[in-house]
């Protein structure tokens, strides 16, 4: 009897464990397919859209799924206003989103709508739908044209911008006044100002911040190559990472590090480390996005700061770096009614960019808007938005629409980091250019 009981217990355990495995599966990125059939199953004419939103800050989750949207949330409000369309929305951190999306694609379970920064690989591999298939014309006309241009491959728009930020030079006004120097506009002035700061503070303050980490080394490449008339691509849009201007630009940045004008470990000190130093009064100047004042305030810093253009080489024009994220829709051949699915995606976008919802979200996250209809309300709520929108209008973007962008991004970071350990930057960039040509 005892043995029979043991056997029964063992069998119960097996089933229990199997059941645990099944219920745990949807939560794991490796096997989200388990939850899929249920989510996709239409109840009558109901359509369920799988949506992935990136986590921009601590309030993102509350906004979309909690009660951060005036007591309600995005999903509930959307579903109330759009009967027949359900949202299966996940807020995923930036650290995990690439892993999550790639795993879902590998499992043939791509989301219907994805919010992320990159799009070219998905578009080139035929996974995305053209924006015109689902985006209402009125909404499409509302996007800033220079943003839309960043998501075009072979004349087709594959994604729409969700928000943007622009980088500028932030400087500690009190510090520069104390030293008795003006904010630098050229590289030569930057070196002079840096030396003056070093002399005045006896090396206790870093004059300048450089981030050549895996996170943002491509931004450093942009600052110093665009500021010297170079860049990732040439005038025809072809890769030109090893141009003379680029080599000179990066050599200038490396020189700043060598002369002790910057933070000591640019390969491992991220932009956030630099912002922390700036907030703590340990760094006089840093290139940062428009959210820096909020960031400094959150850190308890009380810095009298102002913004200026990013310094460029003599006779060259500096350019701000625009960073833009996107929303895109994946194909789903298994959807029973493609037209209805496209319409549902359109409804999602219309609701998302409706100023009533969008303005609150953009200002909560501290970014800049991507649609004209939000500008007026945002500028009214915070006049500093106006100046930043001007900066955004004139800034350059990464060539993220080119298929090799991932390779170039990691390649320039590796070149910078190798150069930091003594390698020749010319040889490093030549090798990357040859790899791209091959």
Partner 1 sequence: MNTSLNRNKWEPYVWLLPSVLLIAIFVVFPILIVFKLSFSEISKAGVVGGFVGFDNYVEAVHLPAFKVVMLNTLYWVLSVVGLSTILGFIIAMVLNQKFRGRKIARSILVFPWATSLVIQASVWNYIIKYEYGNLNNVLLNTGIINQAVNWRSSYPVEFVWECAVGIFVTVPFVTFCVLSGLQSIDGSLYEAATMDGAGFWSKLRHITLPMVRPSLTVSTVLNIIYVFNSFPIIYTMTKGAPAHKTDTMITYLYMLSFYERKKGPATALSVIGFLILCFCAGVYMMTVMRREEEQ
Q: How far is the CB of 345 from partner 1 (least distance, A)?
A: 19
- Which listed range, 188-196, 293-301, 306-314, 415-423, lies at the site for partner 1 (CB under 8 A)? 415-423
In angstroms, what is the minimal distance from the CB of 46 to partner 1? 29
> CA nearest 266: which of 279, 241, 283?
283
Return the CA Rg of the chain: 25
Binding-site member from 23, 93, 265, 294 for partner 1 (CB under 8 A): 265
- Distances from the Cα of 74 to the Cα of 78, 104, 224, 429, angstroms: 6, 24, 40, 46
Question: Does 34 contact partner 1 by CB under 8 A?
Answer: no
Number of residues forming the site for partner 1 (CB under 8 A) = 41
Is residue 34 within 8 A of residue 22, CB to CB? The reply is: yes
Can residue 438 be called a binding residue for partner 1 (CB under 8 A)?
Answer: no
As a three-state string, the secondary structure of 161-173 is EEEEEEEEEEEEH
Length of the chain measured in residues: 438
The number of beta carbons lying within 10 Å of the beta carbon of residue 259 is 14
Question: Is 314 buried (19+), middle (13-18) or exposed (0-12) by CB count in 10 A?
Answer: exposed
Question: Residues 79 to 98: which contact partner 1 by CB under 8 A?
Answer: 98
* Token pair in block for residue 93: 């951190």
Residue whose entry in the numeric block shows the structure tokens 């790899």: 435
Site string for partner 1, 266-285 (x = CB under 8 A): -xx--------x--x-x---
**Strands 47-55 and 305-308, bridge-based pairing:** unpaired
User: What minimum distance in Å lies between the beta carbon of 384 and partner 1?
Assistant: 29
Q: What backbone phi and psi angles, to 5 degrees, belong to 404?
A: -90, 10
For residue 199, state whether it binds partner 1 (rule: CB under 8 A): no
End-to-end Cα separation, the chain, in angstroms: 73
According to DSSP, the residues that pair with 169 across neighbouring strands are 287, 308
Query: Is 290 near partner 1 (CB under 8 A)?
Result: no
Residue from 19, 27, 33, 106 in contact with partner 1 (CB under 8 A): 106
- Interaction between residue 339 and partner 1 (CB under 8 A): no
Q: Are 174 and 285 in contact (CB under 8 A)?
A: no
Q: Which stretch binds partner 1 (CB under 8 A): 73-81, 259-267, 313-321, 394-402?
A: 259-267
Residue number, 163 or 292, with CB nearest to partner 1: 292
Q: Taking the complex as a whole, how short is the minimal distance between the CB of residue 68 and partner 1, in angstroms?
A: 27
CB of 326 to partner 1, least distance (A): 15
Q: Considering beta carbons, is residue 122 or 353 the nearer one to partner 1?
A: 122
> To the nearest whole angstrom, how small is the minimum distance from the Cβ of residue 50 to partner 1?
16
**Interaction residues for partner 1, span 373-412 (CB under 8 A):** 406-407, 410
Distance (Å, rounded) from C-alpha 234 to C-alpha 141? Answer: 30
Q: Is 54 in the site for partner 1 (CB under 8 A)?
A: no
For the bound state, the minimum distance from the C-beta of residue 252 to partner 1, rounded and expressed in Å, comes to 19
3-state secondary structure of 53: strand
The one among 58, 180, 264, 383 contacting partner 1 by CB under 8 A: 264
Distance CA 419, CA 410 (A): 14
User: Shortest Cβ distance from residue 165 to partner 1 (Å)?
Assistant: 21
Is residue 259 at the binding interface for partner 1, with CB under 8 A as the rule? Answer: no
Does residue 18 touch partner 1 according to CB under 8 A? yes
Instruction: Determine, following the binding rule CB under 8 A, whether residue 232 of this chain makes contact with partner 1.
Output: no
Q: Does 197 bind partner 1 (CB under 8 A)?
A: no
Q: Out of 13, 19, 339, 434, which residue is the one contacting partner 1 (CB under 8 A)?
A: 13
- State the nearest-atom distance from the C-beta of 224 to partner 1, in Å: 17
Q: What residues make contact with partner 1 under the rule CB under 8 A?
A: 3, 6-7, 10, 13-14, 17-18, 21, 30, 98-99, 101-103, 105-106, 121-122, 125, 127, 213-215, 263-265, 267-268, 277, 280, 282, 406-407, 410, 413-414, 417-418, 420-421
């Amino acid at each position: 009897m005892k043995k029979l009981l043991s056997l029964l217990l063992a069998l119960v355990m097996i089933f229990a464990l199997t059941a645990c495995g099944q219920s745990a599966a949807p939560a794991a990125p490796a096997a989200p397919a388990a939850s899929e059939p249920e989510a996709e199953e239409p109840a009558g004419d109901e359509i369920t859209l799988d949506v992935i939103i990136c986590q921009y800050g601590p309030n993102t989750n509350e906004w979309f799924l909690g009660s951060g949207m005036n007591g309600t949330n995005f999903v509930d409000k959307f579903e109330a206003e759009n009967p027949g369309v359900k949202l299966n929305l996940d807020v995923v951190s930036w650290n995990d989103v690439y892993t999550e999306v790639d795993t879902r694609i590998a499992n043939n379970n791509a989301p219907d709508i994805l919010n992320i920064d990159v799009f070219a690989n998905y578009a080139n591999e035929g996974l995305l739908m053209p924006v015109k298939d689902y985006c209402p014309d009125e909404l499409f006309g509302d996007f800033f044209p220079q943003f839309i241009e960043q998501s075009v491959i072979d004349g087709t728009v594959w994604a729409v911008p969700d928000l943007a930020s622009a980088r500028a030079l932030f400087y500690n006004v009190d510090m520069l006044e104390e030293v008795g120097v003006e904010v630098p506009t050229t590289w030569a002035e930057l070196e002079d100002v840096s030396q003056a700061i070093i002399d005045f503070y006896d090396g206790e303050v870093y004059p300048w911040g450089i981030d050549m980490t895996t996170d943002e080394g491509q931004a450093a490449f942009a600052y110093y190559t665009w500021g010297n008339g170079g860049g990732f691509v040439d005038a025809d849009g072809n890769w030109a990472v090893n141009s003379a201007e680029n080599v000179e630009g990066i050599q200038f940045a490396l020189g700043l590090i060598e002369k002790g004008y910057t933070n000591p470990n640019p390969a491992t000190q991220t932009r956030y480390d630099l912002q922390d130093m700036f907030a703590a009064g340990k760094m006089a100047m840093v290139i940062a996005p428009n959210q820096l004042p909020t960031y400094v305030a959150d850190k308890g810093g009380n810095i009298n700061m102002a913004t200026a253009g990013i310094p460029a080489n003599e006779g060259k024009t500096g350019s701000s770096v625009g960073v833009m994220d996107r929303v895109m829709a994946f194909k789903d051949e298994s959807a029973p009614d493609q037209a209805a699915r496209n319409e549902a995606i359109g409804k999602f976008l219309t609701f998302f960019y409706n100023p009533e919802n969008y303005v609150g979200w953009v200002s909560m996250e501290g970014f800049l808007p991507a649609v004209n209809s939000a500008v007026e309300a945002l500028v009214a709520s915070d006049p500093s938005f106006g100046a930043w929108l001007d900066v955004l209008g004139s800034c350059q973007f990464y060539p993220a629409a080119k298929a090799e962008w991932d390779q170039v991004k990691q390649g320039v970071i590796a070149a910078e980091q190798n150069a930091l350990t003594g390698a020749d930057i010319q040889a490093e960039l030549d090798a990357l250019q040859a790899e791209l040509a091959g």
